[in-house]
Structures are given as structure tokens and as C-alpha cells.
Amino acid sequence: MTTASVTADELGGRPVGRIRRFTRFPNGLRSRIRYVGLVLNLLCVAMVAASFLTAPEYGVVRRVVVAAGLAFLAWWCVRGYRRQKFPTAGILLESIVLCGVVFCFGGANPLVNPLGVSWLLLRSMYGRSYDLIGVWLGLSVAILGGLVISPQVGFQDPAEAASSLPLVPNSLISAGLLGALMHWVSYAAGRFEIVVAREAALNTAALRLATAKRREEIRVACLETVANLVGKDELVEVSIDDAVMAAYDGPERRQDAPSEQNGRRLLGSARADRKQHTFEASIAGHGDAYGKVVVVTRRPMPADIQHPIESLAATCALALRTLELTEDLQHRAFHDALTGLANRDLFLQRTEIAVDRARTEGTATALVMIDLDGFKPINDQHGHAAGDAVLRAVAERLNASARADDLPARLGGDEFAIVLDVAPDMDPATYADRILRVISAPIDLGDLTVEVGASIGVAVWHGHRDADALMIDADAAMYAAKRGGKNRVSLAAVGS
């Protein structure tokens, strides 16, 4: 015995799934209003069909015509509801079908009013004002045509038709006013949904911008939010710090995050078209200009969209400023203010990481501890400004001599250190000798030239239990270099 499970997607493609999806109450205010209008229209069609088809005085041909017309109107309304639009050209077809149904009713019939009004109310929820006018004219032609033609073919008594004719204008005017009211209600509900969607998009963007850790994240959040605000088939460009990102979602191509060259080519071609309209919002704040948001649209952008984009651009500027401050604080927390080198905290972290990698992955690592020789006399004789200049010069030389994976640091005072990733063909002692020659070179302070030396101790990891043990060996080697006469390199003994 086998059992089969059916997923929701598979069920959605079956008749039962389609019915469940269709009968489910939709989300959104305007969608719910349209859903209620559709249900009322279908109930009116069902009521009219039951009343007409069960009446014995109507012939077979008239019943068939009315049944076919009502079935078409029901199918047409369901189709329009599912697609969320009715074609303007279909108004003529709807009017012809409705005219045929009214004609078969015999013109003045109590069943005509609920059918016509429900159809007008449903159709008034879609399209523009001229669509509503077209639907109302179609309904007027259908009712008046039925009253004029029905007596001539014997479907209605002429006297009854003549007595009903003066009442038709008032009924049509009332139906038109009711349709206009529903059209305005549907429009207002749609605008309300748009405003709510924009607010949700801006709130989501604000959250993404507040938690962004990189400029790229800010650029992507801004781009996607603006694209949601302006809708599809429009070109959006966001440039921050001269880095450009563009998005285009049109009938011919889709580019979510194209290259800078493609983005500029799309934007340039759009601007070259005189039919396009360009809107720009600067990403700037507190005197800092970071970039801009450019939107190219086929129609002038309404003010109710311009303001949210300008607000978003200001939020992006605030997020970029916050990111700059955060990066600056992080840099200050782990770097020496005078020299710009890594400070003791960052040095200790990198040393622990290097020792852990050496223990788990078998990589070679070493520490180079550096203590300047002859620095104190310069600081005492020429002042702290000259001493600071010497420290900065030494830091620049260490940075220039270090490799990409090395970490030079200032531990405090005139003491420096370097965390080395030892390559297979690398000799740490030779590396330290080169550092010593670089430091010992004369330093030009403008009005005088000074020289300092360095006592350098080198310790290579060879099974040290932790970073502290490796640092103790490097410190011991450095002090050994000082005791040996200064301005030299001392290598810690293995197993010390």
C-alpha cells in the first residue's frame, strides 16, 4: 500500500486547489472590496438566472440566450478579478451581451436593475474614469435599447414599456452616481495600500540601513527600496563614493545589479531619450556628500514619490555617516593614535590566532620584538615633538617592510613588535636583520637628522603552549640583544 503526499503547489494546479485559492479572502483593502463586489455580482447573476430560467412564460430560445449571456458575464467578471484588470476594448463586448440579455428579458423587468447595477458596481472598481463612463454608457444603451426593441418584437407590452421609459433616466443617474462612488472608494483604497506599502518599504529599508556593516549593503538596500517605490519598467541608479549600481526591470531585459559600465550605459541611453524624465536625490548630510540616487521614468515623478526617495537618501547618508563613525571607533580601538600601527590589544589577538593556527594547522609563525636604542636622548634633547616624529618614521618603515600577512604593532613607548607568518623558504633571523637595517637608517626631521638603533628579539613557534609563552621567549631574546651590546638581532633558543 502506497501513500501519496500532495504539496500546496501541486494542489494549486488542480481544480480543487484553484477553487480554494479563488475562494480565499484576499489581503489588502482594495482586493477585499473587489472580492466582495465580485461575490455580489455572481449572486445577482445566479439569482437572475434562477428566476428567469424557471419562469414558464419565456421560450426556449430566450432562455438559451439569457443563460449564455449570464454565463459569459459571470466568466468575464471572474476573469477580470483574477487578472485585476478589464480591457477597455471589452466594454463594447460587455454592452452587447448585456443588451441581448435585457432584450430577452423584455426591457422593463424587475430582474434588470440588480443585474445592471451589480455589473456597473463591479466594473467601476477597475480602470480609469473613462472606463467607468464607458461602462455606464453601455448599461444605458442596453437598457434603453431593450425598452425600445422589446415591444417591437412582442417581448413586452408597448404600454408597459412607455410607462417605464420616464423612470429610466433617474435609475441610470442613480446607478452612475453609485458607480462613481464605488470607483472613488476603490481608488482611495488603492492609494491607501500604496501608502502602506511605501511606509513598509521605508521601514524595512531603515532597518536594513541601521544594521548595515558595509557600504555595499547600504547601496543594495537603497537601490531595492527605490525600485519598489517607483515600480517596474523604470531605471534606478544609486552611486555612493563613485561606485555605481543600477537596476532596470523592463519588458526587454532585467538587471538587478549590473556592472558600473552597463549601469552608466543604460542610464545614458535613458537620459538621451527626450521622452524620459530624470529625478535626482543627493545622498548628503552634515556637510558630507556621499553620492546620489537617480531615477529615470517615462512620466514626471509625482511629489508623493519624490519625498520618500529624498527621505530615503537622507537616511542613507545618516547610515553612511554612522558606518564611518563605527569604522573610526573600531580603528581607534585597535590602532595606535600616534603611529597608526596596531596597538597591544590587536597584537595580542593576532598572536593568539597565529599560535592556534600553528598548533591546529601546522603553519609556522614567529614574533619579532623591537626596542629602540638611542631614542631617549633624542626625546630629552630635542623635545617630545622630535620623539614623536621619530616614532612615526619608524612605524612608516615597519609598514613599508612588512609583508601583506605580517602585522607590525606599537606596544607602547619605543617598543614595537611584528607577528610573522613564516613561509617555508623564509628565515626569521634574516627578516629581522633587514628590519634592523631599515630602522638604523638616518631619519630626517627637517632641521636635523637623527639615528636610532634597535635591539630585536625573534622567537619562532615550536610547540609553545600559548601566545604568552611565545611572547616570553621573544622578550627574553630582545633583552639578550640589549645585553649583548644593543643594535643587534637575537634569536630565542629552541626549547627555552
The CATH code of the domain that includes 465 is 3.30.70.270
Q: How many domains does the chain have?
A: 3
CA distance 119 to 39: 11
Task: Identify the three-state secondary structure at position 238.
Answer: strand
Tell whether 229 is covered by a domain: yes
Q: Do 88 and 51 belong to one domain?
A: yes
User: Could you tell me what percentage of the chain is helix, strand and coil, using 3-state DSSP and rounding each to the nearest 5?
Assistant: 60, 15, 25
158-165 long-range CB contacts below 8 Å, 24 or more apart?
160/108, 161/107, 161/108, 164/107, 164/108
Q: Do 106 and 171 belong to one domain?
A: yes
State which of 292, 327, 362 marks the end of a domain.
327
Q: Do 63 and 153 belong to one domain?
A: yes
Closest C-alpha to 319, from 200, 219, 199? 219
Q: Do 348 and 312 belong to one domain?
A: no
Q: Which amino acid is at 402?
A: A
Q: Do 467 and 388 belong to one domain?
A: yes
Closest C-alpha to 314, from 282, 268, 347? 282
User: 393 is in which domain, residue-wise?
Assistant: 344-491
The CATH code of the domain that includes 225 is 3.30.450.40
CA distance 427 to 433: 10
For residue 98 the three cell numbers come to 448585456
Q: Do 34 and 166 belong to one domain?
A: yes
Please, which pLDDT band fits residue 51 given cuts at 50, 70 and 90? confident
- What is the greatest pairwise CA distance in the chain? 132
Tell whether 20 is covered by a domain: yes
Rg (CA), the chain: 41
Each residue's pLDDT tens digit, 12-46: 455 555 556 656 778 888 888 999 999 998 998 88
Each residue's pLDDT tens digit, 122-148: 989 998 888 889 888 888 887 777 767
Tell whether 337 is covered by a domain: no
Tell whether 207 is covered by a domain: no
Whether the predicted pLDDT of 317 surpasses 70: yes
Tell whether 196 is covered by a domain: no
Tell whether 49 is covered by a domain: yes
Please, which pLDDT band fits residue 170 given cuts at 50, 70 and 90? confident
Q: Do 79 and 166 belong to one domain?
A: yes
Question: Is the whole model's pTM more than 0.85, yes or no?
Answer: no
Report the chain's mean pLDDT, rounded to a whole number: 82
State which of 155, 189, 223 marks the end of a domain.
189
Tell whether 159 is covered by a domain: yes
State which of 189, 224, 252 marks the end of a domain.
189
Q: Do 118 and 262 belong to one domain?
A: no
Whether the predicted pLDDT of 435 surpasses 80: yes
Q: Do 108 and 230 belong to one domain?
A: no
Which region among 19-28, 83-92, 309-318 has the lowest average model confidence (pLDDT)?
A: 19-28
Tell whether 332 is covered by a domain: no
Q: Do 67 and 166 belong to one domain?
A: yes
Q: Provide the pairing of β-strand 407-412 with 415-422.
A: antiparallel
For residue 173 the three cell numbers come to 443617474
Q: Do 298 and 323 belong to one domain?
A: yes
Query: At a CB cut-off of 8 Å and minimum separation 6, what does 433 contact?
Result: 489
- Distances 173 to 103, 170, 176, 240 between C-alpha atoms, Å: 21, 5, 5, 57
Which region among 64-73, 192-201, 206-215, 236-245 has the lowest average model confidence (pLDDT)?
A: 236-245
Q: Do 217 and 164 belong to one domain?
A: no
